[in-house]
Structure 1
Amino acid sequence: MAYACDSHLVKNVADDKLTASSIFSKKYPAFKARLSNAEGWSPLPSQKNPWIQVDFGREMMIIAVLTKGMGGLREWVKKFQVKYSNTNLSWTIVQNGSSNEFNANTDSTSLVRNELPFEVKSRYLRLYPMDCHNYCSLRFDFIGCEVTKSETEITSSITPTAAKTTTTKAATAIAATVSTTTSTDEVDKVTATSTQFLTSTHSPDSSTIMSTSHCPCECVNEHHSTLTKAELRARLVGIVQNLTVSKKTTSFYKRSKISAQDNRPQVLYVGSIGIAILFIIVNLIVLPDLFKLFHYLYQMRNL
């Protein structure tokens, strides 16, 4: 059944789900990159290949990208690339022409929409500014919708009761084991263990056990779709990463990013004017007293 898939997705995510490779200062963090924000996100000028990322928390279908420049300043992104991932470890670029780049903005206020050449189904997405005017500052949103059950369900010969039992028991066993897993080798062990568990809980009446190089059984995830051994391993790696505290969430890291000196021409101009005004005010207060002091000393000298 056809349905509309044209929702603004970034505006609904939590602030901590919007992250970036760097921020210019605490005035321009990643969560200010929403289209509704009056300013925007801006990375450090010295950063090579900066990016801004959104974690939707679940698989979404993306069909287009919306971009704007920095609010109130003549800064915008002229070209960008898009990458996606379901594990936040390996990333795939959205192919678009020879350079895989999308043409974006020509000013800081206009809203530009770029349709993706194909529907992207992913949990994590990144936008990479490639060419910018003054600074790589932007506001953005992804257009799409949540991937529904009917889009991910794959017909299986496992009975519904057996599939439900297998999924519940496997998920419990995997979660209990992964909670103490920290290395890639250990993830492989968990993958092998979970595969054996799924095999042992397969319905005894089923005669469709696979004999390929993938799982010896049809591993069923929460969407009732088959998972290969590689996909199961990728899922476990994602769980391990989610259980790991990123250094970017520590207060020390955040202070190092928001303490960058603001060298924008506009900021330096305003700062120079402020210093000049302060100098004039000080002179108006101090100079009359200095003049009286010099005059008194001159009279004392002529006595």
Structure 2
Amino acid sequence: MEGRGIQDQNITASSMYDNRGDMGPYGARLNFQFRGITGWCKAKGDNDPWIQVEFGRYMIITGVITQGRATDRYQQWVKKFTVSYSDAGQEWTGVTDGRSGIQMTFTGNSDKYTPVNSTFPEPVRARFLRIEPKAWNQVCCMRFEVVGCESPE
């Protein structure tokens, strides 16, 4: 994502703060900061936020790297999140701990700039990946990168 291999329209979210374009999902790329766009932020009334990426082909995904919103004025980042994946973007499977089958809750960021690497216990193969924030500092805002490689088909 950071290298712009994923098109803006392939990054979508449940909502964006006040429908402001400068807080849209396309600003959620790791280390992204351009003309006031400093990350994705959810809308105020969105109680089950998510942000997802469609790869357009199958990928082997081994983890994600998260980061808070790049702004001098606010302290905004995601502290806890879950991750789900899908083949068609309709039915979702949560990333589990590999033993109990219970969906994992990952520890995210503790500041807005330091990237945090969250590695999955087992790689997943999917066309879609969704991050579902569960706890955040001030406002639910984030940037992220997907770690993995293209699936040989």
Short-chain TM bin: 0.7 to 0.9
Question: Residue type matched to 2:117 in 1?
Answer: R
Q: Aligned partner of 1:47: which letter?
A: D
Amino acid at match of 2:60: M
Counterpart residue number, 1:137: 141
Say whether 1:115 aligns with 2:115: no
Q: Give yes or no for contact 1:10–1:54 (8 Å, CA) kept in 2.
A: no
More helix, by proportion = 1
* Residue 19, structure 1, aligned to residue 20, structure 2: no
Root-mean-square deviation over aligned CA pairs: 1.6
Look up the match of 1:81. Answer: 82
Identity of aligned residues (%): 35
Counterpart of 1:12 in 2: which secondary structure?
A: coil
Return the structure number with greater relative CO, CA threshold 8 A, min gap 6.
Answer: 2
- Counterpart secondary structure, 2:147: strand
Matches within 5 A, 1:26-41: 26-38=21-33, 39-41=38-40
SS at match of 1:31: helix
Contact residue 86 and residue 126 of structure 2 kept, 8 A:
yes
Measure, in 1, the Cα distance between the counterparts of 2:21 and 2:141.
Answer: 14
TM-score (norm 1): 0.45
Which runs of 5 or more residues in structure 2 are unaligned? none
Verify the 8 A CA contact 2:2 2:30 in the aligned structure 1: no
Structure 1 consecutive aligned stretches of length 4 or more whose deviation exceeds 6 Å: none
The one-letter code matched in structure 2 to 1:69 is: G
Greater strand share, structure number: 2
Deviation at 1:100, TM superposition (A): 1.8
Give matches, 1:188-207, under 5 Å: none
Q: Which residue of 2 aligns with 1:287?
A: none
| Counterpart contact for 1:9–1:143, Cα < 8 Å | no
**What is the CA–CA distance in structure 2 between the aligned matches of 1:76 and 1:145, rounded to whole Å?**
26
TM-score by length of 2: 0.88
Query: In the TM superposition, what is the alpha-carbon distance from 1:9 to its structure 2 partner?
Result: 7.2
Question: Which runs of no fewer than 5 residues in structure 1 stay unpaired?
Answer: 1-7, 150-303
